[in-house]
Amino acid sequence: MNIEKYCPEKLLTPEFSVKKIKNGSRVFIGTGCGEPQRLVKAMIEDRNIQDIVVYQMFSSTFSKYIDDDNFLNRFSIKLFFISAAIRGAAFDGKIDYIPVYLSQIPEIFASNEIGLDVALIQVSPPDKFGFCSLGISVDITLSGMQNAKIVIAQVNPEMPRTWGDSTVHIDEIDYLVFYKEELIKAIPSEKNQKIIKRIGHYINQLVDDNATIQIGFGHLPDAILPYLHDKRNLGVHTQVITSGFLPLFKKNVITNKNKSYLPGRVVTSLCMGSKELYDYVNNNPMFYFRASDFVNNPNIIARNDNFISISSALEVDLTGQVCTDSKGYLFYSGIGDQVDFIRGSSMSKGGFSIIVIPSTAEDGDVSRIVTHLSEGAGVATTRGDIDIVVTEYGIAELGRKSIYQRVMELVQIAHPKFRKKLIQDAKKCHYIFHDQLSPICEDLTFLDDYKFFKKGLNGKNIEFRPLLCSDEFESRNFFYSLQESTIYSRFFNKKKVFTKTMLQQQWADIDYKKDMTIIGLIQKGKHKQIIAIGSYVEAKDNVAEVAFLVKENLQGMGIGSYLLKILEKIAKENGYKSFIAFVLSENKKMLRVFQKQYPNLTLTRSDSSETEVEMKFS
């Protein structure tokens, strides 16, 4: 379309366009990397423009002026999210923060709760029908534009054209400023790769093929994306697309074909990354850009089965409260998209949420797993909403668990040097029992090498891993689920009570070398249930005593034999050359398991109807 012929009266220079802004106006500015930089600069540089209230999601250009007292006298900046560029100004009290769910912002504009006089946006050049595109910034920009009295658009050839609700006809725009400039890029800074690798390793275990994922704001959620490279047919429904997604798109890890809602489409609101990413989304029908009141609506999110929300935090307390937007009294970021997606994932069939967080801050001097949130810290995600927390030390499953269980789960993934203190503090707060033992205060990440998977009933995986302190409650459930005859076969007496003290002692004495216990777990809804336990303990030099238990309804499926192989592998690595076991002579099933694995075993029967089994490793 020839704009000069169609609407020449709308064409203005940057300098003349901002003269349409009256003193005292409330001005909305397009989000993030779609920010109309030239228009913002023209507005700031026109000294006749005074007493302006600015509303924006992410702010970039203002960071270059925020330390100028003259600027602060003329502009009042109100942000829905505090970006890294403007964080220092937030700490100094130079900007104002509006804590609100992202999904609600479009309605705030539409209902005139925040009356907008002017919207400064950026669009692509119009097509032959006069339609421009909001490109990489639809989120709250669409509503901001629709509800402002005056719309001034920077028309930039660098802005991609995107599919979805991103189209804007020039009839909806009051003034057009043609100005070409590079879009803002959002390239995350390098962080501790060792921590990222560890967290990525655990995220890989939690994300199954065919899941639909959301990645929250922040460098850490984005940094773990490369660790999903071996997944198949992932889907995406997320507020922001970053450059971290690009390799997964190009390798067809993300296909969206098995999404239960809007299959084949990446549902998103904005794009923040590199020029390569902007080129990739340009006119790409796979991307479906919608406003934040759609993308972040928990009811819409929940239409995606097996939906996994992955976001970050600043602190998590031992009860499961999450702080994301402030460091004490200092506002650091914003509520953003976390709560919307966590609640959506909780309503999704098979869905859940993950909070990723390094175990420490300030070069390891401060724990991010805390007894209570810092004074002044805001609770973004409540203890009722949380599902899973991941640090570089492991996975804590908190959803629907008691405070006692949460404490043990979180202490287990805290940095080893803070674990004992966290247990002491938890006792003072009466979160746990006074006789609670502290988890091993060592780095146990080597135990990940002792994690195995076997196909079980109905094709479901059985996970095998070392016993941890957080398994105390589930161990109790396992033992009490067994028949009396099974317990007698294992313990040679009719043990009827498995006390808290006994169960604590079971994991407290494990050193994972001379003493090892492996549990088998299957997924039951949103939690895992123990179905087998196997152990070895040093008996004498190079010899360990072995024993195991499998739930009755799962016996005869090779689970015991698989447990035995795992225990032998670990025992060999720790210098043992053989197992011994003491079995009731009448327990033919157990003897057959040993004979199958060790055809050359030696059986010695005692007078007490026990048989000693000696099994040398090959």
Instruction: Please choose, from the candidates 378, 337, 91, the residue with its C-alpha nearest in 3D space to the C-alpha of residue 217.
Output: 337
Q: What are the phi and psi torsion angles at 239 (to 5°)? A: -65, -40
Structure tokens at 276: 């390569």
Sign of torsion, CA 343 195 185 43?
positive
d(CA 334, CA 101): 9
Specify the pairing of strand 352-356 against strand 388-391: parallel
Of the CA atoms within 13 Å of residue 237, those in its CB half-sphere come to 35
pLDDT value of position 494:
56
The residue behind tokens 């090498």 is 449
Contact predicate 119/144, CB 8 Å: yes
pTM recorded for the entire structure? 0.91
Q: Please state, rounded to an integer, the average pLDDT across all residues of the chain.
A: 92
Show the DSSP H helices in 284-398 as ranges. 292-295, 298-301, 338-347
C-alpha 326: how far from chain center: 18
Element (H, E) at 204: helix 193-206
Q: What distance in Å separates the CA atoms of residue 320 and residue 417, rounded to the nearest whole number?
A: 20
Please report how many Cα atoms fall inside a 13 Å half-sphere around the Cα of residue 151, on the Cβ side: 22
Do 30 and 122 contact (CB within 8 A), yes or no?
yes
Q: Which residues contact 541 (CB under 8 A, 6 or more apart)?
A: none
Two tokens, residue 119: 């919207």
The distance from CA 487 to its chain's CA centroid, rounded to whole angstroms, is 40
Tell me which DSSP letter residue 163 carries: S
- Tokens in use for 226? 């490369």
d(CA 392, CA 224): 12
Residue 96 corresponds to which tokens in the numbers above? Answer: 């104002």
- Full DSSP string of 100-160: --GGGHHHHHHTTSS-EEEEEEEEPPP-TTSEEE-TTB-TTHHHHHHTEEEEEEEE-TTSP
C-beta separation of 475 from 447 below 8 A: no
Pairwise CA distance, residues 561 & 78, whole Å: 63
Contact 78, 96 (CB under 8 A): yes
Token pair 């739930």: residue: 551
Question: What is residue 397's predicted lDDT score, i.e. its pLDDT?
Answer: 93
Residues 195, 196, 198, 203, Cα dihedral to 10°: 140
Reported as a single tens digit per residue, the pLDDT across 346-395 is: 999 999 999 999 999 998 999 999 999 999 999 989 999 999 999 999 99
Q: Count Cβ neighbours within 10 Å for each residue of 587-601 and write b for 16 or more, e otherwise.
A: beebbebbeeebeeb
Q: What is the DSSP letter of 393?
A: T
Q: Which domains can be identified in the chain, with CATH numbers? A: 3-178 (3.40.1080.10), 193-428 (3.40.1080.20), 445-616 (3.40.630.30)
Please tell me the distance from the alpha carbon of residue 141 to that of residue 360, in angstroms, as a whole number.
36
User: Please, which contacts does 227-231 make with residues 24 or more away whose CB atoms are closer than 8 Å?
Assistant: 227/197, 227/200, 227/201, 227/203, 228/203, 228/204, 228/253, 229/253, 230/204, 231/204, 231/207
* Secondary structure in 3-state letters for 18-55: HHHCCCCCEEEECCHHHCCHHHHHHHHHCCCCCCEEEE
Euclidean distance between CA atoms 94 and 66, whole angstroms: 7
Q: What is the pLDDT of residue 607?
A: 65
Q: What share of residues in the chain are helix, strand, coil (percent, to 5)?
A: 35, 25, 40
Residue 501 confidence (pLDDT): 75
Distances (CA, A) of 376 to 328, 331, 384: 4, 10, 20
C-alpha closest to that of 603 among 586, 589, 585, 617? 585
pLDDT of residue 523: 81
Strand partners, 237: 267
- What is the spatial distance between Cα 441 and Cα 411, in angstroms, rounded to a whole number? 10
Q: Which residues of the chain have pLDDT under 50?
A: none
